[in-house]
């Protein structure tokens, strides 16, 4: 899993928690398409997003990778167009 995939999945991770707690899921279409895109990137295939058991299996597979990425403690790097400089104190001349 890449950092970019992780960032895209983080806002929809709660759907897996609901699935595990309640046993079913009603995922919005845009969230299902995020899952579909990342599933294809990770595993090279699509799943039937209208099939409840297919969706559940895909969620478990993708979020297993998500959890492994998190467990590894991979750093989250956020880039901006700003630059930072470090100023150091110069040694005084005697």
**Does residue 37 lie in a domain region?**
yes
**Does residue 55 lie in a domain region?**
yes
**Does residue 60 lie in a domain region?**
yes
**What is the chain's Cα-based Rg?**
20
Q: What percent helix, strand, coil does the chain show, rounded to 5?
A: 55, 0, 45
Task: Provide the domain limits for residue 45.
Answer: 3-71
Phi first, then psi, for residue 37 (nearest 5°) are -60, -45
Q: What are the start-end ranges of the E strands in 28-88?
A: none
pTM over 0.75: no
pLDDT tens, residue by residue, 69-89: 988 876 556 666 666 555 555
Q: So what's the pLDDT on residue 74?
A: 61
């Amino acid at each position: 899993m890449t950092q970019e995939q992780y960032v895209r999945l983080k806002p929809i991770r709660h759907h897996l928690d609901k699935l595990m707690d309640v046993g079913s899921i009603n995922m919005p279409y845009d969230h299902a398409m995020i899952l579909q895109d990342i599933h294809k990137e990770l595993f090279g295939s699509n799943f039937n997003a209208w099939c409840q058991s297919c969706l559940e299996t895909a969620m478990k597979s993708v979020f297993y990778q998500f959890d492994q990425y998190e467990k590894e403690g991979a750093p989250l790097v956020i880039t901006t167009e700003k630059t930072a400089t470090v100023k150091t104190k110069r040694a005084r001349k005697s």
